Structure 1
Amino acid sequence: MKLGLHYWKYSTPEDPALIAPTLARTARIAEQAGVSRFTVMDHYFQMMTPHSVAEEPMLEGYTTLGYVAALTERMQLNLMVTGVMYRYPGLLAKIVTTLDVLSGGRAQLGLGASWYEREQQALGVPVVPMGERFERLEETLQICLQMWSDDNGPYQGRHYQLAETLCVPQPLRAPRPPIMIGGSGEKKTLLLVARYADACNLFGTGVADIGHKLDVLRAHCAAENRDYEAIEKTVMCSRRPVLSELDAFLSEAEQLAELGVTEVQVVPEAGRNPAEFAEEIAEQLLPRLAQIG
């Protein structure tokens, strides 16, 4: 079982001048410890939760990953996940390509339908109905795949029209950066996983629910004539305090491994210094997690 670290909060320590050094220290500790993936959110306002408010610091995701790429050598890097409404698809393909080239082939495209309407309305991002967001998500997947192929020709979709899909240089990762689709929607999200993705990311809502979602994905794969086993299954475990409930977390990870999950992602607990959290998971979690699966 592999471990990913999801860096979601920039407000600890409180001094904005410490955001960059804390991020750098956390990324270096994570890589040295053997964390397989480092991810950040694609938000411009902090999410409203019982532990956070919109006015907390938030950084643009791909700029942040570029900074992390310069500090690391092995960890996979992606947004968890890119909001489809935030960037034109052709430009998104170039952004991910740039990250891949500059990181030495470590970029992954994480993509989702986007949902945080407050920040979209505040910053002038078009807010469209859910059905249209999924149409745009599928077209974005098609455009990125074409940009990362030998086909430099036009793309004609309902929502996006590209006169050329030239992308030079091509990504270093062969045959292209892997595509991860985040979300658990059974009718649309998991269908798009079966149709286009190399990996899925499910919310850690319990072993039974994840097992059900994977059964749905398996059925979509059968309908799409897609090899279910070829899709990497990952889970974002953001609800459980990892370190204070370590045995319970590891027990759940064992059950997820039996379902075919190969990576779990953890988040620093609210109020914790992320670098200190990374040090603790390196000492307490990773050695035991590596024995699973």
Structure 2
Amino acid sequence: MRFGMFIPQGWRLDLVGIETQQHWQVMSDLARRLDANPTWESAWVYDHFHTTPKALPEATHEAWTLMSAFAAVTDRVRLGQMCTCMSYREPTYLAKVAATIDAISGGRVEMGIGGGWYEHEWRAYGYGFPSAGDRLGRLREGVEIFRQMWTTGSATLDGKHYQVDGALCFPQPVQTTSAANRIPIWVAGGGEKVTLKIAAQYADYTNFDGTLEGFRHKSQVLQDHCTAIGRDFAQITRSANYNVVIGATDKEVADRLAFVEDLQIKGGLPAEQAAAMRENLATQPAVGTPDKIVATLKELRDAGMSYAITYFAEAAHDTSGIELFEREVAPALAD
């Protein structure tokens, strides 16, 4: 199994209590830490502008700016976002940004892309909030524009949502890691009628439901779409995101859950909402002692989940959970 990790950037109130002028130091130190440890194949950020689950006046650092900065301070680890909202930036512009960061990083960009969902954020930034059909229509057309620009150097499309005429992308992405000789595309989301159909056509990677039952079901839907269009299902790497709360004992797990809850409250989340989030977090697949997490992830690996993107809510404040995961979980799941 392969592993990536989200770098805290504030979106999930994970930088609360740290002075703003120290945020970049904390984030860049974590990025360098991942870069130096072969456990981690990739570092990730979220593409959001306001905190969740409530918009609060706390820092949320912009994803693609961070991608560029991480590219300049690391050498090995791959860099992705899970996931970029197609409609927040024109796809021609985004393809150019990604190609530039690919050059800065020496060919380490992963393009996570989706239709977008955070309605408050959309409206606050003046994007409106198009129907799900329009958002997914933009996703499909935008991914087509990416592929054209990254493989031929230009894109022309007279679509319903985007009209481009000879948009150039030079320099071309430098990486040669994918079969198509371009930046790998991760189509994120589990919508069965549209998103997974787009994934079957365009994705190098997918990212959807990380529970065992949900993962098996979404995988079957994806496979059916692949069969319908004649694509080899095995060409697509299936991933999922996991909130990791790990401790050597059940008490340590409970203490870490309490720390996360307290962080949310300090960030301004109402106590009852923070308590509900804690209760939900406690039931998730990658919460528990190392043996429990290993057993869960082995079942998921057997179901075809070969790339886990992890999130440690306390990472900006305490890396002991990451260290425990590196020592006792990752080696037990190594390919």
- TM more than 0.5: yes
> Would the alpha carbon gap of residues 153 and 93 (structure 1) be closer, same or farther in structure 2, given more than 3 Å must change?
closer
C-alpha displacement of 1:99: 1.1
Aligned residue pairs total: 286
Which range moved further: 248-257 or 271-280?
271-280
Does the aligned pair in 2 maintain the 1:22–1:275 contact within 8 Å? no
Provide the rounded CA distance (Å) in 1 between the counterparts of 2:147 and 2:36.
33
The equivalent of 1:233 in structure 2 is 238
Pairs within 5 Å for 1:29-178: 29-34=33-38, 35-48=40-53, 54-150=56-152, 152=154, 154-174=156-176, 175-178=181-184
SS at match of 2:170: coil
Matched, 1:20 2:24: yes
Provide the rounded CA distance (Å) in 1 between the counterparts of 2:61 and 2:301.
33
The one-letter amino acid of 2:301's match is A
In terms of Rg, which structure is larger?
Answer: 2
Q: TM-score, normalised by structure 1?
A: 0.92
1:196 to 176, 195, 202: 202
Matched, 1:215 2:220: yes
Provide the rounded CA distance (Å) in 1 between the counterparts of 2:327 and 2:315.
20
SS at match of 2:6: strand
C-alpha displacement of 1:13: 4.5
> Would the alpha carbon gap of residues 27 and 275 (structure 1) be closer, same or farther in structure 2, given more than 3 Å must change?
farther
Q: Which has the higher contact order (CA 8 A, sep 6+)?
A: 1
Does the aligned pair in 2 maintain the 1:83–1:112 contact within 8 Å? yes
> Would the alpha carbon gap of residues 47 and 279 (structure 1) be closer, same or farther in structure 2, given more than 3 Å must change?
same
C-alpha displacement of 1:105: 0.3
Provide the rounded CA distance (Å) in 1 between the counterparts of 2:107 and 2:196.
27
Deviations 1:79-100 (A, max 9, x none): 1000011000100100111111
The one-letter amino acid of 2:303's match is L
The equivalent of 1:6 in structure 2 is 6
The equivalent of 1:285 in structure 2 is 329
SS at match of 2:166: coil
The equivalent of 2:313 in structure 1 is 269
> Would the alpha carbon gap of residues 274 and 40 (structure 1) be closer, same or farther in structure 2, given more than 3 Å must change?
farther
SS at match of 2:169: coil
C-alpha displacement of 1:272: 5.8
The one-letter amino acid of 2:31's match is A
Deviations 1:110-165 (A, max 9, x none): 00010111111112123211110011000001111111122635321111111212
Provide the rounded CA distance (Å) in 2 between the counterparts of 1:271 and 1:230.
33
Matched, 1:259 2:303: yes
The one-letter amino acid of 2:304's match is G
Deviations 1:147-203 (A, max 9, x none): 112263532111111121211000001210000011111111111110111000113
C-alpha displacement of 1:275: 4.6
SS at match of 1:45: coil
The one-letter amino acid of 2:240's match is V
SS at match of 1:154: strand
The equivalent of 1:187 in structure 2 is 193
Does the aligned pair in 2 maintain the 1:203–1:237 contact within 8 Å? no
Does the aligned pair in 2 maintain the 1:31–1:72 contact within 8 Å? yes
Q: TM-score, normalised by structure 2?
A: 0.81
C-alpha displacement of 1:282: 2.9
> Would the alpha carbon gap of residues 13 and 98 (structure 1) be closer, same or farther in structure 2, given more than 3 Å must change?
farther
Provide the rounded CA distance (Å) in 2 between the counterparts of 1:99 and 1:271.
25
Percent identity, aligned pairs only, is 30
Provide the rounded CA distance (Å) in 2 between the counterparts of 1:56 and 1:253.
33
Does the aligned pair in 2 maintain the 1:39–1:80 contact within 8 Å? yes
The one-letter amino acid of 2:295's match is S
C-alpha displacement of 1:31: 2.0
SS at match of 1:114: coil
Does the aligned pair in 2 maintain the 1:22–1:274 contact within 8 Å? no
Provide the rounded CA distance (Å) in 2 between the counterparts of 1:172 and 1:275.
33
The one-letter amino acid of 2:182's match is R
The one-letter amino acid of 1:261's match is M
Gaps of 5+ in 1: none
Which range moved further: 122-131 or 77-86?
122-131
Which range moved further: 183-192 or 264-273?
264-273
